[in-house]
């Protein structure tokens, strides 16, 4: 039978090993989870609005969705909008 220290991979009675565990395992996880929570809040906010109004009234959303389309409606090379078009046309 394995000991608890073998299962978790460090000596639970050693304060330095706990510091290392928190620094290398918990904090990166916390940062990732925080980003996911912020994204979720942003998506909830976006989805609570009328999408047409949101696109019409939000310059940042327009730039994301229409990124790479010039004033004449032409696609710039490697643009996100071109990728959307190529994807939908191939469907």
The structural domains of the chain, with segments of one domain joined by +, span 1-48, 50-91
Phi, psi dihedrals of residue 50, rounded to the nearest 5°: -70, 125
Spatial distance between the Cα atoms of 69 and 78, rounded to a whole number of angstroms: 11
Q: Which residues contact 84 (CB under 8 A, 6 or more apart)?
A: 65
**Spatial distance between the Cα atoms of 84 and 26, rounded to a whole number of angstroms:** 38
| Structure confidence at residue 16 (pLDDT) | 93
Q: Which of 62, 58, 60, 64 lies closest to 83 in space, CA to CA?
A: 64
With cut-offs at 50, 70 and 90, classify the pLDDT of residue 15. Answer: very high
State pLDDT tens for residues 45-72: 777 767 677 777 777 777 666 677 777 8
pLDDT at 45: 78
């Amino acid at each position: 039978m394995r000991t608890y220290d073998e299962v978790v991979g460090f000596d639970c009675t050693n304060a330095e090993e706990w510091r290392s565990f928190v620094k290398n395992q918990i904090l990166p996880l916390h940062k990732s989870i925080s980003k996911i929570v912020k994204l979720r809040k942003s998506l909830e906010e976006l989805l609570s609005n009328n999408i047409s109004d949101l696109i019409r009234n939000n310059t940042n959303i327009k730039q994301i969705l229409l990124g790479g389309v010039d004033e004449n409606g032409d696609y710039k090379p490697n643009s996100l909008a071109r990728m959307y078009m190529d994807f939908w046309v191939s469907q």
